[in-house]
Amino acid sequence: MKESMIEFMKVREKLDKEKEFHMESLFKLIRQPSISAQNRGVLECADLLVTMMKDAGIDTKILDTEGYPVVYGEVLHPDNKLTVLFYGHYDVQPPEPLELWKSDPFEPTIHDGKIYGRGTGDNKGQLIAHVLAVKSLLDLYGKLPINVKFLFEGEEEKGSINLAPFIENHKELLAADIAYTADGPMEGKDQPSVTLGNRGLLYIELKAQGAIKDNHSGNKGNIAPNPAMDLINLIRTMVDDKGRVLIKDFYNDILTPTEEELNHIRTLPFDPEATAQVIGMHKMDIPAEEYYKKLCLSPTFNIAGFGSGYTGEGTKTIIPSEAKVKIDMRLAADQDPDLIFQNILEHVEHFNSASTITLDYLGGVKPSRTPMHLDIVQKVIRAVEISHNKLPVVLPALGGTGPMYVFTDILKIPSLTVPYANVDEDNHAPNENIGIKEYLNGIQTTCVAILHLGEQI
């Protein structure tokens, strides 16, 4: 048997013996509510996490931010080895509506091979997997073959509002070769995955004000301005009927996908029928390559909501006095939400209309993408494969938005996400859960990643 295989067996045997302890550790964390949105139990949870990390042999401290603190930990190697920064969050979503839970959200309950409770999947089960993996490796070997650092924040469910300035102020402490996040569900049942980025976000609201009150559409038709029409006309100057955005320089900074990324995308699994069903469409006529290009590598311009005038039953003949539209744009690497907002502002200022139009900024997050060809990225992908005995699906970026730009943009290091939770974890929803198998596999995957990056497996 190859030496690396012997090490892998040793780790599996050790983890097998610790199963009970690993389950109990997660239960302890779940029993401590930590709802950042409701200011409930978050500081107590940070303290509990510190104790658990110290018990695991991790040098741990609480670091303040403008909001809830960061729990920081490290296990450093005396020699100058490479460093992995594990990121996760210890806050959870509110549990409401409580009546839809089959068991108490803060009393972990097992049935059908799953652990139910708020935070089991998102993100306590995935975060503590890293801590327990390090504990098991320290028990087994007395040291780690690389440096590990932990950055666990308490405000992810509130949009990570203080994370970027915190990282900006602690660049030296957080210096690492790669950021590793376990969050979200896997790609499918028993299908491990690795994602190398996220789309960003720009959220705006446009308001058009016509007359100071609604008017009779007969008595004042063609005379009073119509803010709904003015907003529609404005939107038509911002995006064409193919969805192409017409804002100045909108596409200028988009990172061209490499030939390698495009080749890779062509190999990704895609079932148009199943995907159409998930979305609730009758059918989907789109080739796999196009699907992933649109979803991962291209920006969007989406009307999230439009409101004006009378939309109730029957007829009401009015010229509405105001209209508003909410627009979200998912941004591809390396688009900059602030720059795009400035260009939209200019665009709106140059648009002539009878209504007065105002633009509000409702939020922005930068996109991030890590190149697939990097040696360290390939090593983590290989580690996930070894742990699962199955090739992971590798996505160049998720369609959704996450705070990973803090690693790629501020710390200037590669960042990847390896979801440990089952595809039906029901995060943010009632009956959130993590499969016992998936949870224990997660601990194993972190062990294998550390050993593989340290060239022990």
Applying CB under 5 A, the residues found at the interface with Zn ion are 122
CB of 404 vs Zn ion, minimal distance in Å: 14
Map residue 149 onto helix, strand or coil: strand
Q: Smallest distance, Å, CB 431 to Zn ion?
A: 15
Distant-in-sequence, close-in-space partners of 383: CB < 8 Å, separation ≥ 6: 445, 448, 449, 451, 452, 453, 457
Nearest CA to 425 among 94, 103, 184?
Answer: 184
Residue closer to Zn ion (CB basis): 93 or 456 = 93
User: 307 or 430: whose CB is closer to Zn ion?
Assistant: 430
The nearer residue to Zn ion, 122 or 230, going by C-beta atoms, is 122
Q: Are 46 and 92 in contact (CB under 8 A)?
A: no
Q: Between 146 and 404, name the residue whose CB sits nearer to Zn ion.
A: 404
Evaluate the omega torsion of the peptide bond into residue 192 and state whether it is cis, within 30 degrees of 0: no
Helices marked H in 18-69 — which ranges? 19-31, 42-55
Using alpha carbons, list the distances in angstroms from residue 6 to 1, 9, 139, 247.
7, 5, 17, 58
Least Cβ distance, residue 159 to Zn ion (angstroms): 10
* Shortest reach from residue 401's CB to Zn ion, in Å: 12
The torsion angles phi and psi of 311, rounded to 5 degrees, stand at -125, 15
Closest approach of Cβ 123 to Zn ion, in Å? 7
Q: Nearest approach, Cβ of 121 to Zn ion (angstroms)?
A: 9
Which residues of 396-449 form beta strands (DSSP E)? 415-417, 433-435
Closest residue to Zn ion in the complex (CB): 122
DSSP state of 36: G
Q: Closer to Zn ion by CB, 88 or 197: give it.
A: 88
Pick the closer one to Zn ion by CB: 37 or 173.
37
- Measured in degrees and rounded to the nearest 5, phi and psi for residue 280 equal 95, 30
- Amino acid at the residue 23: M
